[in-house]
Chain A
């Protein structure tokens, strides 16, 4: 393609977007686990929101698409991923409720990190390649736009005045993000059916 000299501008698809989120999630885990005080608190707030948005996008987009594709583990594999996500959500809920200063946070956050990152790698190895192989590129790009638009309407970092009230955060803003993403991604994908 480089031989022709004429290149089209590269447009991210939903897999690129989810990969970038995986990378960001890894970085936030590093900040939470390695950080202290406000750095840890802020990173944890960001992590909670990003995880909520990310898992919702995957539940609404990736897994339903992957379920119908040939050549994979089919329902069983998707169900495994969903079970992992449910488990991670439980751990996350406990951590959010207790806050970063709670006893057991150190252990809990490592458990959560291992679960989330292992889950992410499974997707990268088994689901994402099949999406790219079987789903039209245009559709994957359209889904990226939908997920991005939904996320953009919610700040991923709390405003300075409203920061750090982890009790406040307890799933409130995160749930709002989830709703927006659901709305945004359901519309185009339902339209195509």
Chain B
């Protein structure tokens, strides 16, 4: 397998882009492969995390020379983020991008859950994916109400649209969001990459919703973004708590760069749009040089070799955007009624869960329920895409019909 530690990549001094290179042509929203959009959204989240992580590192680093090195790479990562996110077209609406974000959250998390070697971590992804799956359904109903278009236009039948774990049930006590971290010394390196990838994606979803939500005039849209952005914040707590807090800054920097190499390598392998593929190829070459720098810093300041952190076997199997319909239906059928207690998972609505539900809902219907009722009022049914048959949970089948 490709081992990024064996490659020098593009020299750092050749990585600054000019205006012409930054001014990328966006994808055509009417003809794009939905999974190309997903790859763009994913890599944007990854680059945003890279920038924010390095800012935090710099604020905690007393060594001026290291701060300068971090500042340089951070500038390059910033340009990478601008290029990647600017591939999204201006004609797409906020809600269309939102549907893309949720498609990412569903199919990315499902893939990671299927490939995670550690059972406790796997459970964390299986738990989370059913919630993003539900968000996709709520936003799809909002989309038809507010923009009169169908989510099919965005997800294109690759991802089903129907209820997951109902968002109303996702408001848990913050204490119960905190998971047990993996042990950095014994965990499979693949698990580190999985955790960082999903953490970055969910964090970007949170940032996006908490900032774009108020741009809407329609009250139901404003309220739905507010509600779901709070769930996304819970998800960030959930996923970030999986990461061993004992990892050193040098170690974390290395994992970040290695993870970027894994994802750009994965996406360049499967990209259907040659123009976008060229971006992934270029960015891989840039990340290889960032990885070299991180490896040097690790050796110098931590006295360790990068292989001790990420292994010597090279990259894991490429992360792939592909339909996960059967897997998701299996999870829906078996885990829909789970909630969390302490650092584990339970089926009963325990006292702390009920307390939090009471505080937040306070006898009112949350926006995530209102949006479905409003859709029923306007269109006589709710919006779903059930390509593989009726909902696997009888109680979540459409009342009075659905359409797609």
Contact = CB atoms under 8 A, between A and B. Distances in A.
Interface of A: 1-3, 7, 9-10, 16, 19-20, 22-23, 26, 29-30, 33, 113, 117-118, 121, 124-125, 129, 132-133
Contacts, number: 44
Contacts of A10: 374, 377-378
Given A3-B365, A10-B378, A118 B148 contact: no
A23 B30 contact: no
Contact of A23 (B148, B364, B377, B378): B148
Given A3-B364, A124-B93, A26 B217 contact: no
Given A117-B30, A129-B217, A132-B217, A26 B149 contact: yes
Interface string B231-248: 000000000000000000
B30 A2 contact: no
Contacts of A23: 147-150
6 contacts: A2-B374, A19-B147, A23-B150, A29-B30, A113-B30, A124-B147
Contacts of B313: none
Contacts of B150: 23
Contacts of A1: 370
Contacts of A113: 30
Interface residues of B, number: 19
B381 interface: no
A121 to B, nearest CB: 5
Given A10-B377, A10-B378, A29-B30, A133 B217 contact: yes
Classify the secondary structure of A's interface with B: helix
Contacts of B377: 7, 9-10
Given A26-B149, A117-B91, A2 B217 contact: no
B30 A30 contact: yes
A193 to B, nearest CB: 27
Classify the secondary structure of B's interface with A: loop
Given A7-B377, A29-B30, A133-B217, A2 B148 contact: no
Interface of B: 30-31, 90-91, 93, 147-150, 153, 217, 364-365, 369-370, 373-374, 377-378
Nearest to B91: A121
A29 B262 CA distance: 38
Contacts of B147: 19, 23, 124
A29 B30 CA distance: 9
Contact of A22 (B90, B148, B374): B148
Contacts of B365: 2-3
Contacts of B148: 16, 19-20, 22-23
Given A3-B365, A129-B217, 5 more contacts: A2-B369, A10-B374, A22-B148, A113-B30, A124-B93
Contacts of A30: 30
